[in-house]
Every structure is written in C-alpha cells, then in structure tokens.
Amino acid sequence: MLNIKKPALLLNSDICKRNIHAMAAKAHEQKVVFRPHFKTHQSAIISEWFREEGVTTITVSSVSMAQYFAQHGWKDITIALPVNLLEIEEINLLAAKINLHLLIESVETAAFLTEKLIAACGFFIKIDTGYHRTGIDVSNVVLISKVLEASKSPKLHFDGFLTHSGNAYHAKDKQELINIQHYASENLLRLKKNYLSQYPECIISVGDTPTCSQMPVLPGIDEIRPGNFVFFDVMQFILGSCTLEEIAVALVCPVVAIHHNRQEAVIYGGAVHLSKEQALLPPDPEPVYGLAVKWDRKNWDTTTVLGKVSSLSQEHGILSLTQTGCNLKPGDLVAVLPVHSCLTASLMKEYLTLDGEVIETMNS
C-alpha cells in the first residue's frame, strides 16, 4: 500500500516492460534496427529494460540527453533534432567517445560541421515527408545533393535519410495513417535509390508511435525510432495505438474539493504536473487534459473511469465526474492517465513504481 500525499507519477513496470518487449519483438521479426526514442522516459533505469531486450542503439532529442545516456553506457546515439551549432564543443566530446549521429538539413550546418568537427560523426539528412515541422522536402533533390556535397569530410559519415511522420498524430482514421506511412516510405525509398550507388550503406530511418504500433513496418525501411510506446497515453489511445490497459503511467492526485451541483471535483494536480497538452476524446466536443480512473492505493483500474480532466490551472485540475466519480470526497486519491506521457514524465522528474521504488530520470 503506497502512502501518496501529493501528485506522484506512478509507473506500472510490468506494463512498461511488456510495451518494450512488444516493440522490440516486432522490430526483430521484421528485421529492422530498433532505435527507440528515449525522450519519453529519460531514465537510465528504464533504459536497462531496453538493454534486456537486446537494444544497443537509441535516439534522443538533445545534446544534454545524449550526454546523460552516454554516461549510462549507451554507445550509439542519434540526436533527432537539427544540430544545435552552439553545442559544437559538447558534440565533439561526445563524438570522441561514442557513435554519434547528427541530423543535417542545410548547407550552412553541413559547412559548419565540416569545419568544426574534431571527432568522426555519422549524420542523417532530415527529410520532410509531409509533417512540415522541419527537414528538407522529400522532392528537393537539388538541396539534398548540395547538403551531401557540403558534408564531404573525413569526419562526417552519411548514414542515410531520416523522417518523423508527426502528421500521423493528426490522422483522422486508420486509412489516413496508412496513407501517411506509405507516402513517407515510397518517397524515401525513391530517394535512397537515387543515392545508393554513391552511398551503398545509406539507410532509411522512420519512427513515430502511431504507425510503429499499429502497422507492419513497410519493406525497405531499415530502422524504426518510436518513443512514446514505452508508456503510451490517452492521445495514443485516441489514435488507436494502445488500449487504456496498456498505458504504463498515471498521475495519482489528491481530491481537494467536490462540487456536486456541477458534477465536478477539484484535484491537487495541474499544468505543472500533467502539462497543458490536450486531446479530443469523442464524442465529447471539449478537449481533455487527462482521464481519471480509480486508484485503490495499490494500482489503478482503467475499468472504473471517475472523470475527465476538463481544465487545468498551475496546481489545480478540474474533473468532470462520471456517475461513479460523484462518490469521491476530499482526501481521496484518483489516478489520472495523461494525455501526453512524454511531457508529464518530463515535468514529474521521477517515477514511483507500484512497489514503492523511486525511479530517477535525468531531470531528478
């Protein structure tokens, strides 16, 4: 029985390990390199659970995160953010120690690295296959060739083409998700074919949890980089990537007030714990910030939904209660399944397992 007094991020390690195993097994079966994104958990302890599944290659989203995991024995790391030129010193130190892979998407960055890199590095060209956040448009072979030209250096090794289909998060249905995946794959394959004679070892790296969890990997893809699947969350549930039972984390929060007249509870648990990420949970037209389920002081129970988090202040949350939720009273605890577990985990800085063990992260 856990003695929780204030918001705590509970981790069901059995579910988490099952999620890791399932994705590792899928990558293994489909014969692709598994390079999970560690931005979701940011924890050396959880990273060991990946190692137990044979994982040796990982993805991170900052130089700081690469430093942290390198310190914890990870030797092959892709930093999946366009290179921050201001951290060239830190990049050189890392590249001297591990197999580091960077993302390049401009001639300026390629020229800068060609000049400033001391240790050898791999690099991917970041390709935009429809998300339009960043990367070179998949059709822009002129720019891609220029970047490859500007990257010619004994210190830079071309790894291949990398994309993140973040637009998968906006897919209206499974067919649209399939279309997004196929569009990315077909265009990346065509690109690879263009450059294969020059760069026979270049690969294609893709990765987002919706497609990696819902679909088989398409032929020709060499590497997948999903991250969120380690915990999943309400957003992935809405997208069809997981069941509620597969969500591995929940924010346990005290109830501090009940308003029966409007079927609402106030919880101690706000934007500084959950993040203000919101999602639409049809048929409800209003966005939610989390889904509150029963917490029996040992585990949470997704079959007993107590309410949805309908608004968030800095430290408060408002639950719109279900019929069952109306029995809550001040001093009770609820478990809130987060909308976006990556952000909630980053905010909470540590996990508490159901056995009461504290699991630290790089933010602890």
Binding residues for a second copy, per CB under 8 A? 4-6, 39, 61-64, 81-87, 90, 105-106, 108-109, 112, 132-134, 166, 254, 256-259, 262, 266, 268, 271-272, 275-277, 311, 313-316, 318, 329-331, 333, 342-343, 346-347
Question: Residue 333 or 359: which CB sits closer to a second copy?
Answer: 333
Q: Is 289 helix (H, G, I), strand (E, B) or coil?
A: coil
Nearer to a second copy, 38 or 195 (CB): 38
238-276 b/e with 16+ CB inside 10 Å = b?
A: bbebbeeebbbbbbbbbbbebeeeeebbbbbbbbebbbe
Q: How far is the CB of 112 from a second copy (least distance, A)?
A: 7
What is the nearest approach in angstroms of a second copy to the Cβ of residue 251? 15
Q: What is the DSSP secondary-structure string of 202-246?
A: -EEEE--HHHHHHSPPPTT--EE---GGGT--HHHHHHTS--GGG
Nearer to a second copy, 122 or 166 (CB): 166
Check residue 318 and report its DSSP letter: E
C-beta of residue 282 within 8 angstroms of C-beta of residue 355: no
Who contacts 129 (Cβ-Cβ below 8 Å, separation ≥6)? 135, 138, 163, 165, 183, 184, 187, 188
The DSSP output letter for 122 is E
Least distance to a second copy, CB of residue 152, Å: 19
Q: How far is the CB of 235 from a second copy (least distance, A)?
A: 12
Smallest distance, Å, CB 167 to a second copy? 12
Listed in sequence order, the residues at least 6 apart from 221 whose beta carbon sits closer than 8 Å to its beta carbon are 32, 185, 188, 204, 206
Q: Among residues 217 and 249, whose Cβ is nearest to a second copy?
A: 249
Least separation, in Å, of the C-beta of 84 and a second copy?
Answer: 5
Nearer to a second copy, 138 or 218 (CB): 138
Q: At closest approach, how far in Å is the CB of 64 from a second copy?
A: 7
- Cβ proximity to a second copy: between 17 and 146 the closer is 146
Report the number of secondary-structure helices (H) and strands (E) in the chain: 11, 20
CB atoms within 10 A of CB 330: 11
Of 76 and 87, which has the nearer Cβ to a second copy? 87
- Token pair in block for residue 198: 């020059």
